[in-house]
Amino acid sequence: MKLFKFLTAFIFLFILFVWISFSGCHKNSSSDPIELDSISVGVILPMDNANSQLMLNSMKLAFKEVNDAGGVGIGYPLRIELRSSEGYNREVIATDMAINIIETTNQFVGFTSCYSSSSIGIATNICKKEGIGAISGCASISTLSSISDYFERLCPVDKYEAEIIKIKAQDFGINKVAIAMQAEEPYCQSISEEFQFIFGSGANLKVEFFKNDEEYDNKLEQLIEENPDAIMISMLDYVNYSEFLEKLNQISSKIDLSNTYFILCNGLYSADFFKAQINQLLGEINGNPKNFGAISFPETNSVDFKYFESNLLETYNQNVGAYNAQYYDIGYLFALAIEQAFFSVNIEDIESFRSMVGSNIRGVSRPDAGDFNVNPSQGWETMKIAAVKGSIDYSGASGNCNIDSEGNVTTSYKVFTIKDSGSGPYFDAIEYLNPAKK
């Protein structure tokens, strides 16, 4: 009996020793993501803008889905290194923030940027000079086309927005448009010039407004003295357009603007806009909405948009807003580009690995013969297996992620208007148009 008890105890202790040894080996294995350093993507957004947190959450969601399903490579988790580009000169600030990330962040592999102003700095000073990849979700200025093989964006160039709002203006019988433009803002300058070119002689008048402009009253009189059918508000920053609308409201008692349309650039598609004095923009003229604009927006019936929409609401209690789907797709494009970089470069050579990630982005985004089609609704495990097997073509929630040789895409647009049912203003869709399907 004693021998039996001794053997039983010995067997138990042996099994326990083996289990502990195995557990210890497993815990110290490089396949355990908890023991690995994370791989970081620098995200530079103007965090004083209401849309930026919504964009950030969208990219965080993609990374969360990847990390929850095992991460990239042998289990590396993805993380975001966030900096804000808020301030007067976003081009300079974004460049400084990017350099700070490069100097302070281990295993950093690329950037995500925002509006044209900040993206110009990153594309010119980081992508072009340093060979580091960057993707913007909403930089639309045409001069960024072909600026670098390492820079791309998931939104169309400004000429498409200009075409859409021209179509709607003509539908509403608008023949003469005066443009109120925020000074020294690249996007506002670009969309104004594109609209003027496409609309023709009826949009010759453009007036630039500075913050706290000493000539505000004179410029307002210049803007409306020829009784335009519509005023286009080409502004991006709240401090600028709120001041413009406040000044416009002050002169509305002297000048009747009840039959004047307002054309809104996509930079105004933000909850911030509702804090400004927008009452004079609301209502109808001859059965048409008095205000309207166009913004790049995905087709909402696609499987992957619905998948993203559902997960975003569940995770962040957030409805899909401006450019949210683009930033979700940016997260997955980086994950796939990183995954494929492991095949050819050792991550310990971080500069070479980083360069390979930047080179891979366009390859995983567009179709080539024999590509595996991958998308978020498949789940990261399936996408990762496809990436390991060979070349892939990512299809996402934003509608078109096929980045062309100039670093551009073309997607559908939502023509929107602002309404107020009595409980507060909100954006309402008029229709969806796709320039690529005209």
Q: Can you tell me the distance from the alpha carbon of 243 to that of 250, in angstroms, rounded to the nearest whole number?
A: 11
Q: What is the distance between the alpha carbons of residues 119 and 134, in angstroms, rounded to a whole number?
A: 9
Domains in the chain: boundaries: 35-155+323-394, 158-297+413-437
Q: Tokens 């096929």 map to which residue?
A: 402
Contact predicate 267/323, CB 8 Å = no
Task: Please list, residue by residue across 421-438, b when 16 or more beta carbons sit within 10 angstroms of its beta carbon and e when fewer do.
Answer: eeeebebeebebbbbeee
Cα first-last separation, the chain: 90
Q: Which helix (H) or strand (E) holds 130?
A: helix 128-130
* Predicted local confidence at residue 7, as pLDDT: 43
Tokens of 236: 């991006």
- Please state, in angstroms and rounded to a whole number, the distance separating the CA atoms of residues 228 and 261: 9
Residue 173 DSSP symbol? T
Mean pLDDT on 182-202: 96
- pLDDT(368) > 70: yes
In percent, how much of the chain has pLDDT > 90?
80
Q: What is the pLDDT of residue 23?
A: 32
Contact between 62 and 331 under an 8 Å Cβ cutoff? The reply is: yes
Averaged pLDDT, 121-149:
96
Q: How confident is the model at residue 31 (pLDDT cuts 50, 70, 90)?
A: very low
Closest among 47, 55, 49, 135 to 316, alpha carbons compared: 55
407: three-class secondary structure by DSSP: coil
pLDDT digits (tens, 9 = 90+) for 154-165: 999 999 999 999
Q: Provide the whole-model pTM.
A: 0.88
∠ Cα 202 204 209 (to 5°): 130
Residue 404: pLDDT band (50, 70, 90) is: very high
- The mean-pLDDT minimum among 240-254, 285-299, 327-341 falls in 240-254
Question: What band does 303 get if pLDDT is binned at 50, 70 and 90?
Answer: very high
Rounded mean pLDDT of 103-110? Answer: 94
Give the integer Cα–Cα distance in Å for 145 and 152: 8
Q: Is residue 79 predicted with pLDDT exceeding 90?
A: yes
| Distances 247 to 219, 235, 357 between C-alpha atoms, Å | 11, 15, 48
User: Is the pLDDT at 18 greater than 90, yes or no?
Assistant: no
Domain 158-297+413-437 falls under CATH 1.10.3720.10:
no
* Mean pLDDT value across the chain: 90
For range 60-88, the mean pLDDT: 95
User: Which CATH class for the 35-155+323-394 domain?
Assistant: alpha beta
- How far is Cα 436 from Cα 415, in angstroms, rounded to an integer? 16
Q: How far apart (Å, rounded) are the C-alpha atoms in residues 199 and 159?
A: 11
Q: Do 158-297+413-437 and 35-155+323-394 have the same topology in CATH?
A: yes
Write out pLDDT tens, residues 38-48: 999 999 999 99
CB neighbour list of residue 51: distance below 8 Å, 6 or more residues apart: 269, 270, 271, 272, 321, 322, 323
